């Protein structure tokens, strides 16, 4: 069975994007010489799943950083004019369960990175299919924006595996579904 891993950066007040849906506030992490375990994590991932807004945000940043990874992008409907910017991108219409079933028919041992955004995270959380949570908490207060489900922020029904503190104040918490 494929394993779904939510690995996401969030502000210290629980937001994954600002009120405009932007992740520009994460630029402070790019200035650090620490990779926060991201390179090792990315090597362990076989498939990425994201929502259309997260996809559009990534496309706006320029070159597609996940060219070697199959990526499912959840869409409400397929826009006939919309073209994937990489051969490994699949526009997907369906339920969370349909997506997991499709992935399981391809690779039962896949590690799936649930990239975001907020709506797709909520859908996967509600469906109860997220197996692991890696929350990277950045010492920034946004005050408003797109939030993670409160149960995730409060770790309800989750067991803490590890917590790491980095010299720049970033805290990373690894949780498993109980």
* Pairwise pLDDT comparison (149 vs 3), residue with the higher score: 3
At residue 16 the predicted structure's pLDDT band, cuts being 50, 70 and 90, is very high
Place of tokens 């992740």: 23
Rounded to two decimals, the pTM is 0.91
pLDDT band at 80 (very low <50, low <70, confident <90, very high): low
Which of 14-28, 45-59, 76-90, 145-159 shows the highest mean pLDDT? 45-59
- pLDDT-derived band at 22 (thresholds 50, 70, 90) equals confident
Identify the residue whose tokens are 């309800």. 156
Here the CATH number for the domain that contains residue 144 is 3.40.430.10
> 52-60: which pairs have CB atoms within 8 A and are 24 or more residues apart?
52/76, 53/21, 53/117, 53/119, 54/115, 54/116, 54/117, 54/120, 55/89, 57/17, 57/21, 57/22, 57/23, 57/117, 59/85
pLDDT of residue 81: 59
Domain of 27?
3-177
Asked if residue 112 lies in contact with residue 49, where contact means CB atoms within 8 angstroms, the answer is: yes
Domain count for the chain, please give it.
Answer: 1
Q: What is the mean pLDDT of the chain?
A: 90
DSSP the chain: --EEEEEEEEETTSEEE-TTS--GGGHHHHTSS--TTHHHHHHH-SEEEEEHHHHHHHHHTSS-TTTTSEEEEE-SS--TT---SSTTEEEE-S-HHHHHHHHHHH-TT-EEEEEE-HHHHHHHHHHT---EEEEEEES---SSSEEPPHHHHTTTTEEEEEEEE-TTS-EEEEEEE-
pLDDT in tens, 106-153: 887 899 999 998 889 999 999 999 999 999 999 999 999 999 888 787
Task: Using pLDDT thresholds of 50, 70 and 90, give the confidence band for residue 170.
Answer: very high
Name the least confident of 30-39, 63-72, 91-100, 154-163.
Answer: 30-39
Mean pLDDT computed over 29-55 = 90
In this structure, which long-range contacts are made by residues 68-72, counting pairs with CB atoms below 8 Å and at least 24 apart in sequence?
Answer: 69/45, 70/46, 71/47, 72/47, 72/48, 72/99, 72/102, 72/103
């Amino acid at each position: 069975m494929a394993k779904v891993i939510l690995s996401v950066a969030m502000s210290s007040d629980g937001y994954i994007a600002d009120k405009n849906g932007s992740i520009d506030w994460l630029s402070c992490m790019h200035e650090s010489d620490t990779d926060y375990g991201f390179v090792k994590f990315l090597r362990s991932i076989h498939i990425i799943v994201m929502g259309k807004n997260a996809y559009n945000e990534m496309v706006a940043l320029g070159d597609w950083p996940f060219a070697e990874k199959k990526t499912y992008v959840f869409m409400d409907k397929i826009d006939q004019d919309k073209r994937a910017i990489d051969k490994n991108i699949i526009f997907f219409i369906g339920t969370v369960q349909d997506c997991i079933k499709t992935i399981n028919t391809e690779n039962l041992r896949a590690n799936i990175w649930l990239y975001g955004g907020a709506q797709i995270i909520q859908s996967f959380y509600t469906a109860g299919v997220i197996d692991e949570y890696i929350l990277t908490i950045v010492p920034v207060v946004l005050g408003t924006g797109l939030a993670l489900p409160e149960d995730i922020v409060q770790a309800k029904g989750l067991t803490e595996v590890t917590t790491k503190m980095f010299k720049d104040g970033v805290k990373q918490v690894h949780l498993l579904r109980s």
